[in-house]
Each structure stands twice: as C-alpha cells, then as structure tokens.
Amino acid sequence: MEALHVYDTTLRDGAQQEGLNLSVSDKLAIAGLLDDLGVDFIEGGWPGANPKDTEFFERAKSELHLRRATLAAFGATRRAGGVAAEDTLVRALVDSGASVVCLVAKSHVRHVEQALRTTLDENLAMVRDTVGFLVGQGRRVFLDCEHFFDGWHLDRDYALSVVRTAHEAGAEVVVLCDTNGGMLPHQVEHVVADVIAQTGARVGAHCHNDTGCAAANSVAAVRAGATHVQGTVNGYGERTGNADLITVAANLQFKLGLTVMEPESFRRAMHIAHAISEVTNVPAYSRQPYVGASAFAHKAGLHASALKVDPDLYQHMDPALVGNGMRTLVSDMAGRASIELKAREAGLDLSDRPDVVASVLATVKDLELKGWTFDAADATVELMLREALEPGCTDYFSVESWRVITDSSGSGDATSEATVKLHADGMRLIATGEGNGPVNALDHALRDALSRAYPEIEKLELIDFKVRILDASHGTDAVTRVLIETSDGETSWDTIGVAGSILAASWRALTDGIVHGLIRQGVPKR
C-alpha cells in the first residue's frame, strides 16, 4: 500500500462554514498549527479567484515556514473553449509558487451540461489540457472529481472516463468527492473499489458530513484502496461540514493500524484542535471524538467504580495518545469512586479520608438539587475538595464588599462601573473597574484590586460566560446559574455560581476561577 496522504482543506473548504471568516493572518497562523499537527498537505485557498487567497500565497513565501507539510493551491480546470496556458486563473496557480495544485473538475454529466454548459467531450478536454499544462510546469497535480459518487450512480462510464483522463494526463491523485454528502460507507467502499479496478489510478476521498458519515465514509474509502484522505480540522465546512481530519486520521492509525501521522503529532492533536478553534472563533465542540473535552469524561458512578480499578474498562483507548485525558465528572449521579477519581486528577489522595469523600459527595448532591451542575465546573469541584482536605487553603483573599452601578445614556447604550473592597497580603484593597456590562466591570475591578497582592493574576483571562435561568416560570425572580471559563493562555477551567441574582452568581464563579488559576500556578497565599 502506498503511503497515505493526509490532506487538509481547512483554509479553503473549511472556511466556507457559515459564520467562519478568516483573515490572511488567521490563515497563516492556522497553517503553522496544521504543520505542527503533522498533515502532509495544506490547501491554502484559491489564488487568483479572490484577493485574500492571492495575498495568502504571496505572504506565505516569506512568512510561512513549513517543516513537514506541503502547501497546495486550489483551482479549477480551464474555461470551456479556451487553452490552459492562456487561462488567467490557471496561470495564477503557477504564479502562487505552490508545488502542488489541486484542481476541481466536473464528473457528473448533469453538472457538465447544466452548470458548465458545455459538452461531455469538452469537459474531458478541459481536464486533459489543464492537468497536462500544470504537470509540464513542474507541478504535482491532484484532481478533485466534484459530485463523483452521485455522478457514478447516474452515468458510471462517464465518471470513470474523467478519472482515466486525469490519470493519463499526469494527475498524481484523483480524488473522489461526495460533494453533497449523501453517501453511506458501503456505497463509498463499493465505488472506490470499482474506480481503482477500472482505471488503475491512485484514488483519494473527499467526504462531506450531510449524513453524519463523513469520517466513516473516509475510512471506508481507505479500506477499499484509497491512499489519500481530505478533510478539515474540527470538521469545519459548509452545511454540516467536512470529514473531521483528526477523527479520520486517528481511526486509520489507532483502529486500522495504518501509519498516518507520527505518534508525537497525535499527542498534540487536542491542543492544536483547540488552538485552531481560538483562531476561528468557533467554540470547541466538547463531544468531538478523540479531542473533545468530554471525549474521555465519565459521569455515572458505576463507570467511576470500574475506572478506579482499570481505566480501559470504559475507554476505547488511552486518551494521552491524542493529547487528551480522562476526566471524572462529579454530579448527583456520582458515587464515592467518582469523588476519589476527581481528587486523583487534581493530585489529591483521598484513599484514607472516607470522611472527606462522604462530606464532598453529600454537598455535591445537595447543591445539584438546588441547580448547581458540577459536571460542567471541574475547577469548582477541585476547590471544594481542597477546602475539605485543608480548610482555609483556598482563602487567597477575603471580600469586604462589592457593588455595581449601571448608567444609561438615554440612547439605549449603557455602561457599568464596579467597586470591590478586598483584603489580601495584609492590605485593604479597593479598586473600581468599568466595563460594557456589570460582569465585565466586576471582572476588571477584581483583577485591578488583586493584582497588587498577586501580580500573577495578569496571566488569567475570562474567555467564556454562560447564563442559564433556572425555574423560568418565576420570571425575573428565578434562580440564575452562571458558568465561567478562565484561561492562563495554555489551558482553561470552568467554575460555577448559582444565586437569585445574576451578579451574585457571577461573582462566585469569577472569584473561584481566579483562585483556581492562582493554585494552578503554584502561587502561595499572601
């Protein structure tokens, strides 16, 4: 079997996702992360088709220093009735400087006749001429056969003729695209096997996720003989997205035993997936296979009891292989084993403290009845465990008072000002902060005050804020639950606050987030 190509199209096909907009600087940053991940090819975009992608390739020449991956330019076959050597968009592919060009071509007779508005023979001539020209220019050429699977079912002979034409013209790989995402794994496997048997071409797969089968379809294609898989990190893409490239690569390597990427690359997978989420500003999906925060998280007490004996009993693989880790979620479903495992994750040993286990478990169950949800707030649970083991160890500061004032200009805009009074390091700390909302103002004031006692707080940043109204039938008198995510620039943690006031709930979550951050940095109480 030829070495598998892992071809990433996050910067081009993934960028077509609704609400995802990448600047040229964003694309350069993501390309660097993809290189760290260990993919073989990074599709940078379509030079000549839009100014942003043209600029990307120009800047990449001096700013992008790839150590492993090869940059690929995306484009289309020449226009009907033209000549590839004179086509401005084809010339732009050469001018991009990319050593690999991935062309898209029609392989579905209705698309040829109705979308391209040309003849079937001319479409083949467009493929032959463009591939031949680019190969003659010293480029490695891959050809994406758009709508291939649907085209194969409609007119198998013509779809195969497109593959043969590209292969004979010098295309290194002919990629079969499930552009509409409507295929199932058994269909993909059957078609890929037929194409390889009939054409002898090196075949790849490009799958969309409209049936929820993009990753499975990609694996099916490889089982049938494909040696090139395309996808996007985090499954980005239009409609329901593309095949999640990390999921596909991990399935091929860990489940089929194929060599896809270096083990060290996989150990960076979770970090890179989340780092790319930060650049795209699309929140990481916690239930994403392999690299999601919940991928190896266990909530049921029965599971925790078994995991305490042997983690493999409820996990399909070692999460460390993809840079993830096992998490025990503490909730009203928890048992003693869940509490002990959660403590072990935090580096705390409760094996000889059944009193602490029982106390924390009782507190968790009681608070969850009142609307708290600890499976989404690991950091709050860790603080409870530390405080139960060593009372006072989380008292980094004491609160004298806090208040927030919100003023409206009359035009609908409003600004908030918060004042906090604290005691830490033998000092009475008073600070005022302004913000675009009361919680933002509180956050600024709290940080300003504490920075005098704990300058390490500068590393901490509030990155997410979620509010849920409990018992909504009570209207504005309902209890509010606030979840806050805080980061130190490398990792993040979640804390929770529940109260009748959204500000009181936010204050609890804010202060817990900061205390946990100081503990993580090893900062002593002052």
Residue type at 293?
A: A
Domain boundary among 253, 273, 305: 253
pTM of this prediction exceeds 0.85? no
Looking at residue 64, its pLDDT comes to 92
Tell me if 268 is assigned to some domain. no
Distance of alpha carbon 172 from alpha carbon 3, whole angstroms: 13
CATH of residue 170: 3.20.20.70
For the chain, the domain total comes to 2
Could you tell me the two tokens for 170? 């010098």
* Burial group, residue 52, by CB count within 10 angstroms (0-12, 13-18, 19+): middle
Looking at residue 326, its pLDDT comes to 72
How crowded is residue 456: how many other Cβ atoms within 10 Å of its Cβ? 15
Distance of alpha carbon 494 from alpha carbon 487, whole angstroms: 9
Distance of alpha carbon 341 from alpha carbon 354, whole angstroms: 13
Task: Residue 460: give the domain boundaries.
Answer: 397-521
Domain boundary among 209, 225, 253: 253
How crowded is residue 11: how many other Cβ atoms within 10 Å of its Cβ? 26
| Ramachandran category for residue 200: left, alpha or beta (phi over 0 → left; psi -120 to 50 → alpha) | left
Distance of alpha carbon 506 from alpha carbon 512, whole angstroms: 10
Over 477-516, what HEC string results? HCEEEEEEEEECCCCEEEEEEEECCHHHHHHHHHHHHHHH
* Per-residue pLDDT tens over the stretch 271-283: 899 889 878 878 7
Tell me if 282 is assigned to some domain. no
Tell me if 204 is assigned to some domain. yes
CB 426 within 8 A of CB 415: no
Domain boundary among 253, 288, 321: 253
Looking at residue 359, its pLDDT comes to 82
What do you get for the CA distance between the two ends of the chain, in Å?
A: 62
Strand partners for 492: 487
Residue 408 belongs to what H/E stretch?
strand 398-408
Tell me if 177 is assigned to some domain. yes
Distance of alpha carbon 376 from alpha carbon 468, whole angstroms: 13
CB 224 within 8 A of CB 187: no
Strand partners for 485: 464, 494
Looking at residue 332, its pLDDT comes to 47
Residue 414 belongs to what H/E stretch?
strand 414-424
Tell me if 353 is assigned to some domain. no
CA 36 to the chain's CA centroid: 15
CATH of residue 491: 3.30.160.270
Looking at residue 367, its pLDDT comes to 77
Tell me if 348 is assigned to some domain. no
Tell me if 313 is assigned to some domain. no
Looking at residue 160, its pLDDT comes to 98
Tell me if 24 is assigned to some domain. yes
Q: Which residues of the chain have pLDDT under 70?
A: 1, 298-312, 327-338, 369, 371, 373, 375-376, 409-412, 470-478
Distance of alpha carbon 215 from alpha carbon 237, whole angstroms: 13
